[in-house]
Amino acid sequence: MLDEAGNLDNLRNAASGGTAFRGPMFMDSDVYKWLEAAGWELGRSPDPKLSGLVDGVLAIVAAAQTDDGYLNSYFQVAEPGKRWTDIPQGHELYCIGHLVQAAVALSRATGDERLMRIAERAVQNAELVFGDDRRIDVPGHPEIESALIEVYRHTRDAADLKLAAFFLDHRGFGLLGGGRFRDPAYYQDRVPVREATVIEGHAVRATYLMTGVVDAFLETGEEALLAAAERQWRDMVDHKQYLTGAIGSRHFSESFGEPYELPSATAYAETCAAIGSFFWNWRLLLATGEGKYGDEMEWTLYNAILSGISLDGTHFFYENPLSSRGDRVRNEWYTVACCPPNIMRLMASLGHYFATGDAHGVQVHQYGQSTLIHGPIELAVRTMYPWDETVRFEVRATPETVWELALRIPTWCEYAAITVNGATVEFEVKDGYATVEWLWSAGDIVELRLPMPVQLVSAHPFVESARASAAIVRGPLVYCIEACDQPGDGSSTTTLDADAPLRPVWRDDLLGAVMTIVGSGYSRPLAGWDGLYRRRADVSDARDRIEVTAVPYFLWANRESGPMAVWIPVER
Amino acid sequence: MLDEAGNLDNLRNAASGGTAFRGPMFMDSDVYKWLEAAGWELGRSPDPKLSGLVDGVLAIVAAAQTDDGYLNSYFQVAEPGKRWTDIPQGHELYCIGHLVQAAVALSRATGDERLMRIAERAVQNAELVFGDDRRIDVPGHPEIESALIEVYRHTRDAADLKLAAFFLDHRGFGLLGGGRFRDPAYYQDRVPVREATVIEGHAVRATYLMTGVVDAFLETGEEALLAAAERQWRDMVDHKQYLTGAIGSRHFSESFGEPYELPSATAYAETCAAIGSFFWNWRLLLATGEGKYGDEMEWTLYNAILSGISLDGTHFFYENPLSSRGDRVRNEWYTVACCPPNIMRLMASLGHYFATGDAHGVQVHQYGQSTLIHGPIELAVRTMYPWDETVRFEVRATPETVWELALRIPTWCEYAAITVNGATVEFEVKDGYATVEWLWSAGDIVELRLPMPVQLVSAHPFVESARASAAIVRGPLVYCIEACDQPGDGSSTTTLDADAPLRPVWRDDLLGAVMTIVGSGYSRPLAGWDGLYRRRADVSDARDRIEVTAVPYFLWANRESGPMAVWIPVER
CA–CA separation, B535 vs A457, rounded Å? 4
- The number of residues in chain A equals 572
Residue A429 resides in a domain: yes
Residue B399's identity, in one-letter code, is P
Q: What is the DSSP letter of B186?
A: G
Q: Both A538 and A468 in a single domain?
A: yes
The per-residue pLDDT for range A494-551, each reduced to its tens digit, is 999 999 999 999 999 999 999 999 999 999 998 888 899 999 888 888 899 999 999 9
Q: Both B476 and B423 in a single domain?
A: no
Residue A265 resides in a domain: no
Residue B180 in 3-state DSSP?
coil
Please, are residues A232 and A210 in contact by the beta-carbon 8 Å criterion? yes
The per-residue pLDDT for range A49-101, each reduced to its tens digit, is 999 999 999 999 999 999 999 999 999 999 999 999 999 889 999 999 999 99
Q: Both B552 and B458 in a single domain?
A: yes
Q: What is the dihedral sign for C-alpha A37, A38, A42, A46?
A: positive
CA dihedral B476, B482, B488, B491 (to 10 degrees): 140
How many degrees, rounded to 5, is the angle at CA B525 between CA B521 and CA B527?
165
CB contact under 8 A, A238 and B531: yes
> What is the residue-wise DSSP string for A112-141?
--HHHHHHHHHHHHHHHHBSTTSB----SS
CA–CA separation, A73 vs A24, rounded Å? 11
CA–CA separation, B377 vs B398, rounded Å? 5
**Which of A428, A449, A470 is a domain's end point?**
A449
The per-residue pLDDT for range A289-302, each reduced to its tens digit, is 999 999 999 999 99
Within its chain, how far is the Cα of A266 from the centroid?
20
Q: Both B439 and B470 in a single domain?
A: no
How far apart are the two ends of chain B, measured CA to CA in Å? 50
- Hey, how many other C-beta atoms are within 10 angstroms of the C-beta on A67? 6
The parent domain of residue A411 ranges over 355-449
Q: Among residues A188, A25, A184, which one has the least CA distance to residue A95?
A: A25
CB contact under 8 A, B534 and A458: yes
Q: Among residues B22, B17, B2, which one has the least CA distance to residue B76?
A: B17
Beta B361-364 vs B402-408: how paired, if at all? parallel
CA–CA separation, A134 vs A137, rounded Å? 10
A539 reaches B (C-beta below 8 A): yes
List the single residue in A with minimal CA-CA distance to B266: A261
Please, are residues A269 and A319 in contact by the beta-carbon 8 Å criterion? yes
CA–CA separation, B136 vs A385, rounded Å? 66
Please, are residues A187 and A177 in contact by the beta-carbon 8 Å criterion? yes
Task: Give me the pLDDT at residue A179, please.
Answer: 56
Beta B514-525 vs B503-507: how paired, if at all? antiparallel
Alpha helices by DSSP H, listed for B390-524, are: none
Q: Both B461 and B388 in a single domain?
A: no
CB contact under 8 A, A529 and B237: no
Residues with Cβ within 8 Å of A455's Cβ and at least 6 positions away in sequence, in order, are A412, A472, A473, A474, B535, B536, B537
Please, are residues A315 and A337 in contact by the beta-carbon 8 Å criterion? no
Task: Give me the pLDDT at residue A177, please.
Answer: 74
Nearest to A569 among B323, B459, B468 (CB): B468
**Which of A396, A424, A449 is a domain's end point?**
A449
CB contact under 8 A, B532 and A459: yes
Residue A242 resides in a domain: no
B237 reaches A (C-beta below 8 A): yes
Task: Give me the pLDDT at residue A12, please.
Answer: 98
Q: Both B443 and B464 in a single domain?
A: no
List the single residue in B with minimal CA-CA distance to A537: B456
Within its chain, how far is the Cα of B10 from the centroid?
28
Residue A369 sits in a domain of what CATH number? Answer: 2.60.40.1180
CA–CA separation, A309 vs A331, rounded Å? 9
Residues with Cβ within 8 Å of A59's Cβ and at least 6 positions away in sequence, in order, are none
Residue A522 resides in a domain: yes
Interfacial B residues in 48-107 facing A (CB < 8 Å)? none
Q: Both B473 and B489 in a single domain?
A: yes
Bond prior to A321 in cis (omega within 30° of 0):
no
b/e for B446-460, b at 16 or more Cβ within 10 A?
A: bbbbbebbbbbbbbb
CB contact under 8 A, A468 and B463: no
Residue A86 resides in a domain: no
CA–CA separation, A407 vs B211, rounded Å? 67
CA–CA separation, A169 vs A166, rounded Å? 5
Please write down the long-range contacts of B505-512, taking CB distance under 8 Å and 24 or more positions apart.
Answer: B505/B549, B506/B387, B510/B551, B511/B311, B511/B551, B511/B555, B511/B558, B511/B559, B512/B311
Q: Both B491 and B515 in a single domain?
A: yes
Residue A520 resides in a domain: yes
Active site amino acids of A = 254, 338
Largest CA distance in chain B: 77
Task: Give me the pLDDT at residue B540, please.
Answer: 81
Residues with Cβ within 8 Å of A399's Cβ and at least 6 positions away in sequence, in order, are A376, A377
β-partners of residue A482 are: A564
Q: Both A433 and A468 in a single domain?
A: no
**Does the pLDDT of residue A464 top 80, yes or no?**
yes
Mean pLDDT, residues A386-408 taken together: 97
Within its chain, how far is the Cα of A389 from the centroid?
23
Backbone angle region of A168, left / alpha / beta, with phi > 0 → left and psi within -120 to 50 → alpha: alpha
Q: How far is CA B437 from CA A81, A521, B357, B427, in A?
A: 82, 55, 14, 10
CA dihedral A293, A296, A298, A301 (to 10 degrees): -130
Please write down the long-range contacts of A358-363, taking CB distance under 8 Å and 24 or more positions apart.
Answer: A360/A403, A360/A404, A360/A406, A361/A403, A361/A404, A361/A405, A361/A406, A361/A437, A362/A403, A362/A404, A362/A405, A362/A406, A363/A289, A363/A406, A363/A408, A363/A433
Beta A377-383 vs A423-425: how paired, if at all? unpaired
Residue A551 in 3-state DSSP?
strand
Rounded to a whole number, what is the distance in Å from the CA of A475 to chain B's nearest CA? Answer: 12
Q: Which residue, among B327, B532, B538, would best test binding to A if mutated, counting the most A CBs under 10 Å from its CB?
A: B532
**Which chain A residues are within 8 Å of B325, Cβ to Cβ?**
462
B527 reaches A (C-beta below 8 A): no
Residue B473's identity, in one-letter code, is V
CA–CA separation, A503 vs A410, rounded Å? 21
Rounded to a whole number, what is the distance in Å from the CA of B458 to chain A's nearest CA? Answer: 5
List the single residue in B with minimal CA-CA distance to A474: B535
Q: Both B473 and B557 in a single domain?
A: yes
Q: Both A430 and A469 in a single domain?
A: no
Q: How far is CA A215 from CA A51, A192, A350, B363, in A?
A: 30, 17, 19, 74
From first to last of the 572 residues of chain B, give the pLDDT tens digit: 999 999 999 999 999 999 999 999 999 999 999 999 999 999 999 999 999 999 999 999 999 999 999 999 999 999 999 999 999 989 999 999 999 999 999 999 999 999 999 999 999 999 999 999 999 999 999 999 999 999 999 999 999 999 999 999 999 998 887 655 478 999 999 999 999 999 999 999 999 999 999 999 999 999 999 999 999 999 999 999 999 999 999 998 999 999 999 999 999 999 999 999 999 999 999 999 999 999 999 999 999 999 999 999 999 999 999 999 999 999 999 999 989 999 999 999 999 999 999 999 999 999 999 999 999 999 999 999 999 999 999 999 999 999 999 999 999 999 999 999 999 999 999 999 999 999 999 999 999 999 999 999 999 999 999 999 999 999 999 999 999 999 988 789 999 999 999 999 999 999 999 999 999 999 999 888 889 999 988 888 889 999 999 999 999 999 988 999 999 999 87
**Which of A427, A449, A471 is a domain's end point?**
A449
CA–CA separation, A431 vs A287, rounded Å? 13
Residue A231 resides in a domain: no
CB contact under 8 A, A463 and B535: no
Residue A162 resides in a domain: no
b/e for B1-27, b at 16 or more Cβ within 10 A?
A: ebeebbbbbbbbbbbeeeeebebebbb
CA–CA separation, A201 vs A140, rounded Å? 12
Q: Both A387 and A443 in a single domain?
A: yes
CB contact under 8 A, A251 and B252: yes
Task: Give me the pLDDT at residue A565, please.
Answer: 97
Task: Give me the pLDDT at residue B178, please.
Answer: 64
CA–CA separation, A16 vs A76, rounded Å? 10
Complex ipTM over 0.90: yes
**Does the pLDDT of residue A181 top 70, yes or no?**
no
Residue A215: enclosing H or E segment and its boundaries? helix A203-220
- What's the number of domains chain B is made of? 2
Task: Give me the pLDDT at residue A178, please.
Answer: 64
Residue B559 in 3-state DSSP?
coil
Task: Give me the pLDDT at residue A45, please.
Answer: 93
Task: Give me the pLDDT at residue A341, please.
Answer: 95
Q: Which residue, among B182, B328, B533, would best test binding to A if mutated, counting the most A CBs under 10 Å from its CB?
A: B533
